[in-house]
A and B are shown apart, each in its own frame.
Chain A
Amino acid sequence: QKEVEQDPGPLSVPEGAIVSLNCTYSNSAFQYFMWYRQYSRKGPELLMYTYSSGNKEDGRFTAQVDKSSKYISLFIRDSQPSDSATYLCATAGNMLTFGGGTRLMVKP
């Protein structure tokens, strides 16, 4: 079993939809949680960073962490075609562990 599991998708949604991306992790020692966005053939870029259970909001993006269930989510409101990318969750204890990524396609 991988330490961080993520549905690979692809997930296809119409423009304006609310998107929910999810990850589960197995190691309760993980303390920090991140979401990266990766456009095709580009380097991943940090989107959200949080270290506690609960919600963190940044514009149209909300990161949610539930440590009791070992479950992390990224919500995208009013999704745009420019949000089409692969989204990678990552958890950190003494090193970063990445999920496999979920490919998102937002259709105009």
Chain B
Amino acid sequence: EAQVTQNPRYLITVTGKKLTVTCSQNMNHEYMSWYRQDPGLGLRQIYYSMNVEVTDKGDVPEGYKVSRKEKRNFPLILESPSPNQTSLYFCASSLWRGEKLFFGSGTQLSVL
């Protein structure tokens, strides 16, 4: 089944404790992206990747890191999480930028 898989589904952590949210797609998509979704603010893009080893900032990249060492994986790293990063996070992929996006099920992150 074609899908975008992200883990974990729920995560509660404390300020400053490094964490990684994993994302994997099995559709051989070139383009992958991370979004956060907050009430009243909609979907905001954090980072995206056009291809392996190519990443770029989205609208809200501060406090986040990504890497794209393999085509299928695009982890999101929070080196020192803060409470304002409490949000619902989505990984997404598409054949290329601007094409139909396929989303993962989401990761609800709470930073205390």
Which of B14-22, B61-69, B72-80, B102-110 touches A? Answer: B102-110
Q: Which of A43, A90, A92, A98 contacts B105 (CB 8 A)?
A: A43
Quote the shortest CB–CB distance from B29 to chain A (angstroms). 13
Instruction: Give the contact-size bracket for chain B.
Output: 20 to 34
Q: Which of A43, A49, A100 contacts B103 (CB 8 A)?
A: A43
Q: Which of B43, B97, B99, B105 contacts A42 (CB 8 A)?
A: B105
Residues of A close to B43: CB separation below 8 A:
44, 88, 98
Chain B residue at minimal CB-CB distance from A91: B98
Residues of B close to A42: CB separation below 8 A:
105-106
Interface residues of B (CB under 8 A from A): 4, 40-43, 88, 90, 92, 94, 97-106, 108
Known A32-B98, A94-B98: A41·B42 in contact at CB below 8 Å: no
A72: Cβ under 8 A from any B Cβ = no
CB–CB B105/A96 < 8 A: no
Which of A42, A44, A46, A96 is packed against the most chain B CB atoms within 10 Å? A96
In the complex the two chains form, what is the Cα distance from A16 to B91 in whole Å? 34
Q: Which of B41, B97, B100, B104 contacts A34 (CB 8 A)?
A: B100
28 A-B pairs with CB atoms under 8 Å apart are A8-B40, A32-B98, A32-B99, A42-B105, A42-B106, A43-B4, A43-B90, A43-B104, A43-B106, A44-B43, A44-B90, A44-B103, A45-B103, A46-B100, A46-B101, A46-B102, A92-B99, A94-B97, A95-B97, A96-B94, A96-B97, A96-B98, A96-B101, A98-B42, A99-B42, A100-B40, A100-B41, A101-B42
